[in-house]
């Protein structure tokens, strides 16, 4: 999916990441925060590891978690991935979309051609390995963005201290 297929970012475009910057950021960052809505309407936000394939964000979640239950009933989600310490260094991406379960639940070792490249990327990113080991407790959720917003305060010259 190209950036043109996402809902266009309308605000703060001067500090938005380019599509290449966004993709590199999403490939390198390790933790996202996933927002879901519980059955009682209460928000629920949890940190989670993820993989970005250039078109979708893939989440490997425990299938008995509140997050999984919430997203099974209400698949609409918002996810934030951010970095930086000082205000002038803050940068990140917010993704809105629908979460869909992919593959067997929970994930077994049964081969799955659709998940093979995602599981390889996940294993390389988090285990420094070329082998993904399903544990029988997790499953895969794919979030295909309907909207992506990004920000990089390092692009705002007014926030940079003169050297």
Q: What is the pLDDT of residues 6-18, one digit of tens each?
A: 665 555 677 899 9
* CA distances in angstroms from 131 to 31, 39, 93, 124, listed in the order given: 20, 36, 28, 8
| CA 38, 80, 8, 143 torsion-angle sign | negative
CATH class of 9-104+139-153: mainly beta
Q: Would the pTM count as exceeding 0.85?
A: yes
* pLDDT tens per residue across span 29-48: 999 999 999 999 999 999 99
């Amino acid at each position: 999916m190209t950036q043109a297929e996402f809902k266009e970012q309308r605000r703060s475009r001067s500090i938005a990441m380019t599509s290449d910057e966004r993709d590199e950021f999403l490939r390198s960052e390790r933790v996202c925060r996933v927002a879901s809505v519980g059955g009682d309407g209460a928000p629920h936000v949890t940190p989670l590891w993820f993989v970005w394939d250039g078109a979708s964000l893939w989440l490997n979640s425990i299938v008995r978690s509140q997050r999984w239950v919430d997203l099974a009933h209400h698949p609409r989600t918002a996810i934030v991935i951010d970095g930086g310490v000082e205000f002038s260094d803050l940068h990140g991406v917010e993704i809105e979309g629908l979460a869909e379960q992919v593959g067997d639940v929970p994930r077994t070792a049964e081969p799955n051609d659709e998940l093979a490249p995602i599981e390889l990327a996940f294993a390389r990113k988090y285990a420094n390995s070329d082998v993904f080991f399903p544990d029988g407790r997790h499953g895969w959720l794919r979030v295909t963005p309907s909207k992506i917003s990004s920000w990089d305060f390092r692009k705002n010259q007014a926030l940079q201290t003169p050297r």
